[in-house]
């Protein structure tokens, strides 16, 4: 990882780990259909309307902030995507999945139903476009799928299988179903397996990442 020269305009385009994974499958699942913008490196508290040199310099400190090169870890880049909200919005959307951490025994199941707060009003807390949920290591679960969104993209992602490798899996839905793995050999001498689940609102751009722990059951 390095810094870009912010005195010139640079387009630095790479594939994330997930993008490389889809490309390597060679089954046509790698398709770029959308793009997003983010402002991860920007510290807006540096905006200074009291700059002694006048309004042309209010944002000088922000404009001189260093910019990171693109890097392939999708869990650490573009966390703060730009989104369009009604003028006068006082609060940003927040995702709530009901858990700050998830702990499941082998073979146990759980349904996650995300809610987006500060977005659609008190009468509706789920997004019509649903949610994208990515588990960082799909080996630790026996089943992982999304329900509630029936678009071709959602159906394709929800039917994707991963076998025997440490790869992520992404699904789309208004609810996410998880079942812990029942394969004892994955644990080795460990009593639990850890990974993370990242949920992103497809309409709001709000996101949350929580740890997932699968606990070994001694038979």
CATH code at 193?
2.60.40.1080
* Same-domain status, 114 and 50: no
- Residue 161 lies in domain: 94-215
The CA distance from 168 to 102, in Å, is: 17
The structural domain count of the chain equals 2
CA 148 to chain centre: 19
The conformation of residue 149, written as its DSSP 8-state character, comes to: -
Residue that is last in its domain, among 82, 107, 139: 82
Per residue of the chain (219 residues), what is the pLDDT tens digit? 677 777 777 777 888 877 887 888 888 878 887 778 888 888 889 999 999 999 999 998 988 888 888 777 766 777 777 877 778 888 888 999 999 999 999 999 999 999 999 887 767 788 888 999 999 899 999 999 999 988 887 777 777 766 556 588 889 999 999 999 999 999 999 999 999 999 999 888 888 999 999 999 876
List of long-range contacts for 16-20, beta carbons under 8 Å, 24+ apart: 16/72, 16/73, 16/74, 16/77, 17/72, 17/73, 17/74, 17/168, 18/74, 18/134, 18/168, 18/170, 19/72, 20/72
Instruction: Report pTM.
Output: 0.73
* Same-domain status, 39 and 66: yes
* Same-domain status, 120 and 40: no
Number of Cα atoms under 13 Å in the Cβ half of residue 144: 25
* Same-domain status, 210 and 112: yes
- Cβ atoms of residues 196 and 209 within 8 Å: yes
Structure tokens belonging to residue 55: 């309004």
* Same-domain status, 74 and 109: no
Residue that is last in its domain, among 27, 62, 82: 82
* Residue bearing tokens 């993209």: 153
Report helix, strand or coil for 63: helix
Residue 71 confidence (pLDDT): 78
From the list 176, 203, 172, 168, the residue with the least C-alpha distance to 114 is 176
């Amino acid at each position: 990882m390095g810094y870009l020269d912010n005195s010139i305009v640079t387009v630095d385009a790479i594939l994330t780990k997930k993008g490389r994974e889809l490309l390597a499958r060679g089954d046509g699942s790698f398709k770029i259909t959308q793009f997003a913008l983010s402002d991860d490196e920007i510290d807006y508290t540096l905006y200074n309307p009291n700059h002694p040199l006048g309004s042309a310099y209010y944002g000088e400190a922000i404009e001189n902030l260093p910019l990171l090169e693109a890097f392939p870890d999708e869990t650490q880049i573009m966390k703060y995507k730009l989104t369009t909200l009604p003028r006068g919005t006082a609060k940003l959307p927040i995702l709530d999945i009901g858990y700050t951490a998830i702990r499941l025994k082998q073979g146990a199941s759980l349904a996650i139903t995300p809610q987006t707060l500060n977005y659609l009003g008190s009468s509706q807390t789920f997004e019509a476009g649903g949610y994208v949920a990515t588990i960082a290591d799909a080996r630790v679960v026996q089943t992982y799928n999304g329900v509630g969104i029936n678009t071709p993209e959602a159906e394709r992602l929800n039917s994707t299988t991963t076998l025997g490798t440490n790869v992520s899996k992404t699904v789309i839905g208004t609810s996410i179903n998880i079942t812990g793995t029942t394969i004892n050999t994955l644990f080795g001498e460990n009593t639990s397996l850890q990974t993370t689940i990242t949920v992103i609102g497809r309409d709001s751009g709000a996101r949350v990442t929580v740890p997932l722990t699968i606990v070994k059951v001694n038979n």
